[in-house]
Amino acid sequence: MIKDFFLYPSELREFAPQMPTDGRIDDFESHYRPQYQKLVSLIGQETYDQLKTAYNTEGFDVTTKNGIAVVFLRAALANLSAIPYFIFEASQRNNTENKLYRYQENKQVETYLENAWAELNFLLNHLESNTADFADYAATDQFKLRQSLFIKNSKEFKRFYGAVDSSYFFNNVVFIIEEVQNDEIKPRVKAFPEITDSNMKFLIGKAIAYETLARACQQLDYTELPSGIRADIQKDTDTRTAKGMTTETDLKNSSAAFFRNKAASYLLKIEEANNAPRNSGTYILPQSTVTENDKFYMP
């Protein structure tokens, strides 16, 4: 499977400089396979096969639409595959003069991760900008699902939470956004897709973005979280776990609680905005007329 896009270890090294050039490419198959599955879940098997065929066809040209996509795909797969290799290779590395400190290990993994995210963002943006050339990608269930979402792409998500601007992250949380809409927004605003009021649209977008981030912290792997959140978690993990105070899971839950509190504040504002028209009239106290025929007795 790794031979779909790489024939020699040196080709991996083109995109991930620390990868070794000795050995056989098959030695990296176990590191490649999970990354292949992750990629297929994003772009679909048909699009993967389309790019594989283009790459293995004589006269392959990196300047074509397929060629540009292949470059992004290979770079992403190489960096993603380098992460598990680098982690598993630590025991051998620590028995040599190449031993690294913990912060150096973390920095190297984070570099691979940042590179992979960048390439995946380039790939997805390229596919989305050229749906006529990548019709199979536009036909995937995930891409179709996005048309029913209140927040339809990464640029819109960035509007409601400016610290995250990633097509890769957005595609990973599409199913969470759908859940949030059904669980939190629809019961409060039944016709929310047709909302035209700018203030209400802003409140709904904010609530969806923050609740999505809260659920992502609890449901996604650490490597699938945005860099800002990863950095905060990694920083706290390095300082606290050394003292036996907390774990990475605890910190993910802490981040989730922060985002959920923010979401709750916007959900409350949505409810207040919904109730405002009902309370816009003048409230009149009930009145009764007392006559001489009314009897009132004091004990």
pLDDT tens by residue, 157-180: 999 999 999 999 999 999 999 999
Give yes or no for a contact between 19 and 9, defined as CB atoms under 8 angstroms apart.
Answer: yes
In single-letter form, the type of residue at position 237 comes to: T
pLDDT at 104 over 70: yes
**Count of positions (residues) in the chain:** 299
* DSSP conformational letter for 95: T
Mean pLDDT of 120-124: 96
CA–CA distance, 140 with 86 (Å, rounded to integer): 33
Please count the other Cβ atoms lying within 10 Å of the Cβ belonging to residue 176. Answer: 19
**What pLDDT score does 56 carry?**
95
Give yes or no for a contact between 200 and 270, defined as CB atoms under 8 angstroms apart.
Answer: yes
CA–CA distance, 26 with 7 (Å, rounded to integer): 9
pLDDT tens by residue, 220-239: 988 899 988 888 877 766 66
* DSSP conformational letter for 226: -
Question: For the chain, what is the mean pLDDT?
Answer: 87
What tokens were used for 59?
């006269």
**What pLDDT score does 101 carry?**
67
Q: What are phi and psi of 76, to 5 degrees?
A: -65, -45
The rounded Cα 91 to chain-centroid distance in angstroms is 31
**Residues in contact with 267: Cβ distance below 8 Å, sequence separation at least 6, in sequence order:** 184, 188, 207, 211
In single-letter form, the type of residue at position 63 comes to: T
**pLDDT over 70 for what percent of the chain?**
84
Give yes or no for a contact between 197 and 228, defined as CB atoms under 8 angstroms apart.
Answer: no
pLDDT tens by residue, 49-100: 999 999 999 999 999 999 999 999 999 999 999 988 887 776 666 665 666 6
What tokens were used for 203?
């409140």
Give yes or no for a contact between 207 and 184, defined as CB atoms under 8 angstroms apart.
Answer: yes
CA–CA distance, 119 with 288 (Å, rounded to integer): 75
pLDDT at 106 over 80: no
* Residue whose tokens read 């207040």: 272
**What pLDDT score does 93 carry?**
61
Give yes or no for a contact between 64 and 48, defined as CB atoms under 8 angstroms apart.
Answer: no
Within 13 Å and on the Cβ side, how many CA atoms surround 135?
1
**What pLDDT score does 103 carry?**
65
pLDDT tens by residue, 55-65: 999 999 999 99
